[in-house]
Amino acid sequence: MPAASIKKSRILTGIQPSGDMQLGNYLGAVKHWVMNQDVQTNFIPVVDLHSITVKQDPRELYRQTVSLVAMLIACGIDPDKSTLFIQSHVSAHAVLAWVLNCTTPVGWLERMIQYKEKAQNQERVSTGLLTYPVLMAADILIYDADEVPVGEDQKQHVELTRDIAERFNNIYGETFVLPEAVVPKVGARVMGLDNPLIKMSKSYAHVRGHAISMLDDSKEIERSIKRSVTDSYNEIRFSNEKERAGVNNLLGIYQVITGKTVDEVENDFNDARGYGDLKSRVSDVVISEIEPIKKRYHELINNSDELGRLIQKGDAAAKQYADPKLDIVLEKVGLHRNDNTGG
Ligand code: TYM
């Protein structure tokens, strides 16, 4: 096939600015976005509207949002190749979410695993927490994305997005592309270092030794990995057994960073003397991956003019696509923004 006729897939994927980016976000998602940005058309919003579904410190939220933009660029997202922008700056996302709220049955949302988990820990659950996946659907559908690269935990939300799109198409006629979730084969679920049975998450960032933040210093990373939960088998190999989840997780982290196969990874540890060696080698690869990212991040974050310029550029590029798509949707529903009836 001549190169000119190969259609680039269009991807949309988001990340929340609540707290610093952690290693799970990077290995399960961001690293893959970076690797594929030459062969795909990428739309990457920092989803600040999603973050306010749980309480945020208003003085901190915008700082964290800009910090995350800097971190994504430091990780390798190139603003010349990917449209990197702030979700709330493109108001079409929120308007489309409202329209889709009106065609999405509540029962679909109540079934979402993440909603059930998050609702459990709250005294009073906001409507926003319930309709969170509808906003996520709007993020995806407004760019006609055909692929959504995410970690395992977001797969159910992308499947729901397909259902939401299909229902709208059935009611109002063909409007939305049905997107597919793309979950990496390795690293899709980086687990907590303190408890390898739950995924590494920013929500537990306050628990010491749970997560590695992309801004942790080398000593902290070394300490967290050294303290990580393992088992008493003293055998360094991949395993699906629950009791061996800790070692499996450390090997998985090592595998995504080195890009090696399962056999190659296990061979690397043939000469290791116990879990002490495993932990120090995993620390070494994590630190050498994160150090240059941290250095770039600190350079960028001190250049707020440049960051502001890049954000404006991303916002404008996103609006150029999202606004006309919203017009199409609104017209289908009977809401005409570009009213010509005045003559
Ligand atoms: P968020 O901000 O929680 O996470 C961003 C990305 O990181 C992945 N991830 C992980 N992958 C592997 N192991 C982990 N421990 C881990 N923790 C997080 C997530 O799967 C995700 O890909 N609802 C989304 C944000 C969002 C979105 C969207 C995503 C809003 N709109 C539209 C895709 C498309 C979220 O909270 O991701």
DSSP string, 173-228: -S-----EEE--SSSSSPBPSS-TTSB--GGGTTSTTS--BTT--HHHHHHHHHT-
HEC states along 188-202? Answer: CCCECCCCCCCECCH
Scored b (16 or more CB within 10 A) or e, 60-89 reads ebeebbbbbbbbbbbbbbebeebbbbbbbb
**Active-site hit among 55, 116, 118, 185:** 118
Residue 169 vs residue 338, higher pLDDT: 169
- Confirm whether 341 is domain-assigned: no
Alpha-carbon Rg for the chain, nearest whole angstrom, is 21
Strand order in the sheet with 40-46: 82-86, 40-46, 9-12, 147-149, 180-182
Looking at residues 297-306, what average pLDDT do you find? 95
pLDDT at site 341: 58
| Mean pLDDT on 288-297 | 98
Total Cβ atoms within 10 A of residue 331: 14
**Please, which residues bridge with residue 42 across strands?**
11, 82
Phi-psi group of 76: left, alpha or beta (phi > 0 → left; psi -120 to 50 → alpha; rest → beta): left
Please count the structural domains in the chain: 2
Q: Is residue 136 part of a domain?
A: yes
Is the pLDDT at 28 greater than 60? The verdict is yes
* 201-236: pLDDT as tens digits: 988 877 889 999 999 999 999 999 999 999 999 999
Structural domain containing residue 91:
9-187+304-333
List, for residues 121-138, the tens digit of each pLDDT value.
778 889 999 999 999 999
Give the pLDDT confidence score for residue 122 in this predicted structure.
Answer: 79
Residues within 6 Å of ligand 1 by CB:
12-16, 24-25, 28-29, 47, 50, 136, 139-140, 148, 150-151, 153-154, 188-190, 199-201
102 with 40, same domain: the answer is: yes
- 269 and 309 in a single domain? The answer is no
Q: For residue range 60-105, what is the model confidence (pLDDT) as tens digits?
A: 999 999 999 999 999 999 999 999 999 999 999 999 999 999 999 9
161 and 23 belong to one structural domain: yes
Asked whether the beta carbons of 84 and 44 are under 8 A apart, the reply is: yes
Percent pLDDT > 90 in the chain is 88
pLDDT at 339: 64
**Rounded Cα distance, 220 and 209, in Å:** 9
pLDDT band with cut points at 50, 70 and 90 for residue 186:
confident
119 & 238 share domain: no
Q: Which of 10, 11, 15, 131 to mutate to test the pocket of ligand 1 (most atoms within 8 A of CB)?
A: 15
* The pLDDT of residue 3 is above 60: no
Pocket test for ligand 1, best of 12, 47, 83 (most atoms within 8 A of CB): 47
Same domain, 277 and 314: no
Query: In this structure, are 55 and 173 located in the same domain?
Result: yes
Burial 172-185 (b: 16+ CB within 10 A, else e): beebbbebbbbbbe
Least confident of 2-11, 237-246, 248-257: 2-11
Q: Does 340 reside within a domain? A: no
Are 30 and 179 part of one and the same domain? yes
Q: How far is the CA of 149 from the centre of ligand 1 (A)?
A: 9
Tell me the CATH number at 253.
1.10.240.10
